[in-house]
Structure 1
Amino acid sequence: MRILVLGGDGYLGWPTALHLSQCGHDVAVADNFVRRQYDFELGMDSLVPIESLQTRVSTWQDLTGKTIKVYVGDLTEADFTYEMIRDFGPEAVVHFAEQRAAPYSMIDRKHAVYTQVNNVVGTLNLLYAIAEIDPEIHLVKLGTMGEYGTPNIDIEEGWLEVEHNGRTDRMLYPKRPGSFYHLSKVHDSHNMEFACRIWGLRATDLNQGVVYGQQTAETVLDDRLATRFDYDAVFGTVLNRFVVQAVLGHPLTVYGTGGQTRGIIDIRDTVRCIQLACENPAERGEFRVFNQMTESLSVADIAATVAKSYPGEVTVHNLDNPRVEKEEHYYKVVHSGLVELGLEPHLLSDTLITSLFDVAKRYSDRVDLNAMQPRVNWRGALDGVTR
């Protein structure tokens, strides 16, 4: 199968491209390298050093004999998007190419507008390119569990059966996102559903939980194939931050009470989910939604798991929560679709023991302690750190 991975230089895009290539698919990647520019803007860096995309691709070819074609450009530029789709002729397009951090989108007006324009316009250009060039192409789009928010009812897989005044209907599950980033993903989902319903496109929306882990079967073959390890307060995940703090002997910084519950998933399961979605495409006219997560844990539970797994003393420090979110809430998610396709999930504790602590120890000299301090406050977005 010919698969185009958009955002193929990123944390998830790169290991996904390698996994799909290793599985025998003909893979191309596209990126505009803006994620690397965010590091320069914010004065941050991946804990694990990462090579240029060109070095990564050539290393992969040297090791495996498999080639990955590279396109450099921006999805918000329609001409580039159309030319890329025509040139590669993909059967599936995996779409990771969006600004992905909630805190980044909440810095100030400029970052909120940038996030919305970049994500929504880029996806719209892609939908038009697919519709006009080859509507048989299957779009596999990375969404987020954050689209749903934290409703006081069970979260279904994208759709909800509703009865009202004696009548029933099937509609998209209501969304209450918690940041301008998550809101951009809601707009994407609505635009994709519209394109499937009106134009007869085929699309799979993967509402993914928080991803943890830094290694896959492919990236460990050579240090030059490594993907990012973000631990900072803007692009990093809470688990990565806890792991780094544990290794350094610092308290784990929990926002608020730590009662916020989220869906989580191992990076090895992410690349497998993408493979399963590509190899089992949606039907023409179908907008298919999978909740791409494997466990639900509160922030306090994640901190406790890190403390229990780490072979040393670990303490916890509760900070004022810079985000506007419920401290305690109901959270029950249906996530059976990908398991039915063949996903065999990894568990969080296994990943910590086998991977994350070792990675953090190896690169502990690269840690910037200031990067882990909260620097974006949801309540003070008008007074953000960057204008």
Structure 2
Amino acid sequence: MKAIILGADGYLGWPLSLALAQRGHEVICIDNLATRRCVKEVGSTSGMPIESMENRVASLNKRVRKKARFIKADITKGSTLRDVIRREKPDAVVHFAEQRSAPYSMINEKHAVYTMENNTIGTLKLIYAVKETSPGTHILKMGTMGEFGTPDFDIPESAFVNAKIMGEDKYSKILTPKWAGSWYHWTKVHDTHNMLYANSLWGCTITDVMQGPVYGTRTKEITSSGLNTRFDFDGVWGTVVNKFCAQAVLGMPLIRFGKGGQVRGFISLQDSINALVLLLEKPPGKGEYRHVNQFMELFSTLELEKEVKRAAARVLGKELETMQIEDPRVEKESHYYNPKKEILEKLGFKLAWKLKDNIPEMLRDLEPNKNLLSRYKAVIRPTVKWK
């Protein structure tokens, strides 16, 4: 398989590039390095030191037969994306090249507009590049379970549902209702609708992945520091488990939003990469739109906090406290949450990491970087508010 990874410098993009290359696939990495710039903008850095993309790819190429390539490019500008797809005729294009932080999108008008433009334009340019130069290419787009919000109905593993509208006796096929929780999450909803429309118009082959929050410091292919993927832990870019683990290493109180009743579907970095590889190696049929809910375990924030505290006591010898703050987001503090997932299991997916087993490994990985984390302690507490 020949795969183009858009956003290959990212938390998921780099380990996916590693995994595919080490499985013998040809990999072309594209990134404009925007995440590095945006993380620096808010005064933070990666909690696991990372090399430049050039050095990363050079380290990778010492280990694989088919050499990976890196192209620095912004897919929202110019013709680079179209030119590469036309020339390479890839089997798959993986779309991670989006601004991925909800808090970053909510900082102010400038950041909201950047997020909307970057994410929506990039997706549209990808759709047209594939449609016009390589229509047989499989597009795998990374969405988010956050597109749905926290509805009172079971979240289906489907883009459509049958529903009765305004008391009618008959059922109508409608798009699965969604209510996103940030400008970033709304761009993902727009992506899904644009991909569905492209599929209906031109028969584009698409896998749309609705993924829950990802946690973890490494995958099995990350065997040296030169192959590290980034690890964000600050109040703008970090996800909840990763933030809790960084706070634990520093001996800080774990910062909880409200009472901690918010429930989400979580997946380890290793399981995320395993699932993505599986979806690429077992693509949908030609012209098919495949919707996949990608998460493994459901946890409330309070349950995550307890798991991190238990692991910190065992691994670090630290008894941690909690700092409860007002939730800076606009979200329900207690809610129904029951998303469905069947497709990955039907394809043969096997769980590699449970959260309770992964957290101790994360703490062990982060402990040697305690001094680095400490230098950026000031940006750990959230500063962006939705209202």
Partner of 2:302: 300
1:161 partner amino acid: N
C-alpha contact (below 8 Å) 1:264/1:296 kept by paired residues: yes
- 8 A Cα contact 2:24 2:64, kept in partner: no
What is the aligned partner in structure 2 of residue 273 from structure 1?
A: 275
Structure 2 distance, partners of 1:163, 1:197, is: 23
Alignment match, 2:286: 284
Report SS of the residue matched to 1:194.
helix
1:320 equivalent in alignment to 2:326:
yes
Identity among equivalent pairs (%): 42
Aligned match of 2:357? 350
Residue number in structure 2 paired with 1:191:
194
Give the Cα–Cα distance (whole angstroms) in 1 for the partners of residues 155 and 188 of structure 2. 17
Aligned match of 2:256 in 254, 257, 260? 254
The number of residue pairs the alignment matches comes to 377
Secondary structure of the 1:206 match is strand
210-219 vs 162-171, which deviates more?
162-171
Does the 8 Å contact 1:8/1:96 carry over to 2? yes
Distance 2:171 2:147 in 1: 24
User: Could you tell me how far 1:338 is from its partner in structure 2?
Assistant: 0.9
Match of 2:19 in 1: 19
Identify the residue that residue 181 of structure 2 maps to in structure 1. 178
1:208 aligns to 2:211 (yes or no):
yes
C-alpha separation in 2, matches of 1:11 and 1:119: 17
1:128-167 matches, cutoff 5 A = 128-158=128-158, 159-164=160-165, 165-167=168-170
Letter in 1 for 2:163: V
Distance 2:243 2:134 in 1: 43
- For 2:103 and 2:14, how far apart are their aligned partners in 1? 23
CA distance in 1, matches of 2:94, 2:9: 13
Shift of 1:3: 0.8
CA shift for structure 1 position 237 = 1.0
Aligned mate of 1:374, from 369, 376, 382: 382
1:23-102 alignment, distance < 5 Å: 23-102=23-102
Partner SS for 2:155: coil
CA RMSD of aligned residues (A): 1.2
Deviation track 1:185-242 (CA, whole Å, cap 9, x = no partner) reads 00000000000011111101000000000100111x2210000111000000111111
Report the CA distance shift for 1:171/1:273 in structure 2 as closer, same or farther (over 3 A): farther
Structure-1 residue corresponding to 2:235: 233
Report the TM-score when normalising by structure 1. Answer: 0.95
TM-score normalized by structure 2? 0.95
| Alignment partners' CA distance in 1, 2:187 and 2:148 | 12
What is the alpha-carbon distance in structure 1 between the residues aligned to residue 98 and residue 20 of structure 2?
20
CA distance in 1, matches of 2:92, 2:149: 29
Structure 1, gaps ≥5 residues long: 380-387
8 A contact 2:24–2:65 mirrored in 1 = no
CA distance in 1, matches of 2:209, 2:371: 36
Q: Secondary structure at the match of 1:94?
A: strand
Gaps of 5+ in 2: none
Equivalent-residue separation in structure 1 for 2:78 and 2:282 (angstroms): 28
Deviations 1:64-114 (A, max 9, x none): 344101122111125111111112220111110000000000000000010
Q: Please give the secondary structure, in 1, of the residue aligned with 2:63.
A: helix
Q: Say whether the 8 Å CA contact 1:269–1:343 is kept in structure 2.
A: no
User: Hey, what's the Cα distance between the residues in 2 that align with 1:359 and 1:146?
Assistant: 28
Contact 1:60 1:66 (8 Å CA) reproduced: no
Whole-angstrom distance in 1 between the partners of 2:366 and 2:173:
46
Residue range with higher mean Cα deviation, 244-253 or 278-287: 278-287
Q: Distance in 2 between matches of 1:135 and 1:233?
A: 40
Counterpart residue type for residue 206 of structure 1? V
Partner of 2:366: 360
